[in-house]
């Protein structure tokens, strides 16, 4: 019969906030992010998150299970917003910036959204009445911070009123609140293909730690450069949580400055790697290239261009990659799953699976229920010891 892939792995029952807290306690001076050459440490991020969690609850009366919209690029504000909402048991609905104006307006009405965390450029594009905004500006983290925040205000060309609040006013408090967690309730939602996928913290932690298990290890705290947006399920796992599981550092910068911080891992899709090849960028100091999607053409192109293997896997909106294959033997569209992490049974050579690496909920109307399609009918076909979605 077939063999399990690479043995067993134990996924800890660990909240996302606790994962970050553990790193902040041990790696106080380690940067969690290098944001356009501005270093921000794990410890500093934790203070921002604690401050924002307190102010969301005390100043805006944000309650447990309130759904809060987030539309931000890969940035410190994105990480702070996500983790502060998780800390107070609110729910983050992450919106990609390609959503239609009318569609987003329907969501705001349907789910009774009261708060929208976004940046200046998206506020100008998606400005709705009757909700509050917390608006960030790129200068918030490219300056010296609190000491000159009044000068930042003068640069923001938005007329602030009672419904528009400044992001940096939420992150400079010394107050804190007690942590309360439920890692099995949906906490982060994404809109994909007209559906709202609802991920629990267990879904997300399981995916990130399993990816960590598959990937090569290096003898230092690694730096990650990602071309994937954190506003998608796959980008959230690869661009944010995966680096945190390594106690690593996330680099956010222009592609032309790729080698400014010598990332150990580059993560991206075919668009990113095609751009790297087209721009003839130097990859000599890069240890590993990673893609959630196996693309034979890109795999071969990168090998020819840089003499490096592209570590790739199988992903789609409802399946976060659960296995990475750094070898030439990867099969197009196959997905490897560690059997100890999967509830499964066989029916006539078809494997029915249920895994923590997939969202176990979908949001319907104003309530969340189990997705029966996921729980009972996710089929995988086994061919030559490889697994393929039916």
pLDDT digits (tens, 9 = 90+) for 318-340: 667 656 665 445 555 555 554 45
Task: Give Rg (Cα) of the chain.
Answer: 21
Domain encompassing residue 43: 28-170
CATH code, 67: 3.40.50.980
**Higher-pLDDT residue of 45, 354:** 45
Query: Would residue 76 count as lying in a domain?
Result: yes
The residue with greater pLDDT, 389 or 60, is 60
Q: Give 168-189 pLDDT, tens digit per residue.
A: 889 988 888 877 677 778 889 9
Report yes or no: 192 and 142 within 8 Å, Cβ to Cβ.
Answer: no
Is 89 a member of any domain? yes
Q: What is the pLDDT of residue 276?
A: 94
| Number of domains the chain contains | 1
List pLDDT tens digits, range 205-248: 888 888 888 788 888 899 999 999 999 999 999 999 999 999 99
- Confirm whether 72 is domain-assigned: yes
Q: Does 59 map to a domain?
A: yes
Any bridge partners for residue 251, and if so which? Answer: 34, 225
- The proportion of the chain whose per-residue pLDDT surpasses 90, expressed as a percent, equals 40
DSSP 25-80: HH-TTSEEEEETTEEEEHHHHHHHHHHHHHHHHHTT---TT-EEEEE--SSHHHHH
pTM of this structure: 0.86
Average pLDDT over residues 144-164: 55
Say if 156 falls within a structural domain: yes
In a domain? residue 71: yes
pLDDT on residue 355: 60
Whether residue 102 is contained in a domain is answered as yes
**1 or 202: which leads in pLDDT:** 202
Residue 92 domain flag: yes
């Amino acid at each position: 019969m077939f063999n399990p892939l690479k043995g067993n792995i134990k996924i800890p029952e660990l909240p996302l906030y606790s994962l970050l807290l553990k790193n902040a306690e041990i790696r106080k001076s380690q940067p969690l992010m290098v944001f356009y050459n501005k270093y921000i440490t794990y410890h500093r991020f934790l203070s921002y998150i604690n401050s924002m969690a307190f102010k969301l609850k005390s100043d805006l009366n944000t309650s447990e299970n309130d759904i809060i919209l987030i539309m931000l690029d890969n940035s410190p504000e994105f990480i702070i917003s996500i983790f502060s909402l998780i800390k107070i048991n609110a729910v983050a609905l992450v919106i990609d910036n390609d959503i239609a104006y009318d569609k987003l307006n329907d969501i705001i009405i349907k789910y009774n959204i009261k708060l929208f965390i976004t940046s200046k450029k998206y506020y100008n594009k998606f400005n709705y009445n009757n909700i509050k905004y917390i608006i960030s500006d790129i200068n918030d983290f490219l300056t010296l911070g609190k000491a000159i925040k009044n000068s930042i205000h003068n640069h923001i060309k938005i007329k602030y009123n009672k419904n528009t609040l400044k992001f940096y006013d939420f992150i400079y408090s010394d107050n804190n609140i007690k942590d309360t967690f439920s890692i099995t309730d949906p906490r982060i939602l994404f809109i994909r293909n007209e559906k709202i996928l609802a991920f629990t913290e267990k879904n997300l932690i399981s995916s990130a730690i399993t990816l960590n298990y598959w990937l090569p290890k290096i003898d230092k705290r690694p730096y990650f450069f990602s071309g994937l947006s954190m506003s998608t399920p796959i980008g959230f796992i690869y661009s944010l949580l995966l680096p945190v599981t390594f106690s690593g550092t996330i680099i956010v910068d222009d592609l032309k400055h790729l080698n400014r911080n010598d990332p150990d891992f580059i993560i991206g899709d075919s668009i990113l790697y095609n751009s790297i090849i087209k721009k003839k960028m130097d990859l000599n100091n890069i240890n590993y290239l990673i893609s959630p999607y196996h693309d034979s053409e890109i795999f071969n192109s990168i090998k020819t261009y840089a003499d490096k293997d592209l570590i790739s896997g199988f992903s789609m909106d409802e399946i976060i990659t659960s296995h990475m294959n750094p070898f030439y033997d990867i099969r197009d569209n196959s997905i490897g799953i560690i059997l100890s992490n999967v509830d499964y049974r066989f029916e006539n050579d078809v494997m029915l699976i249920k895994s923590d690496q997939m969202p176990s909920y979908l949001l319907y109307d104003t309530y969340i229920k189990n997705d029966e399609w996921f729980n009972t009918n996710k089929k995988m076909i086994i061919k030559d010891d490889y697994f393929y979605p039916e």
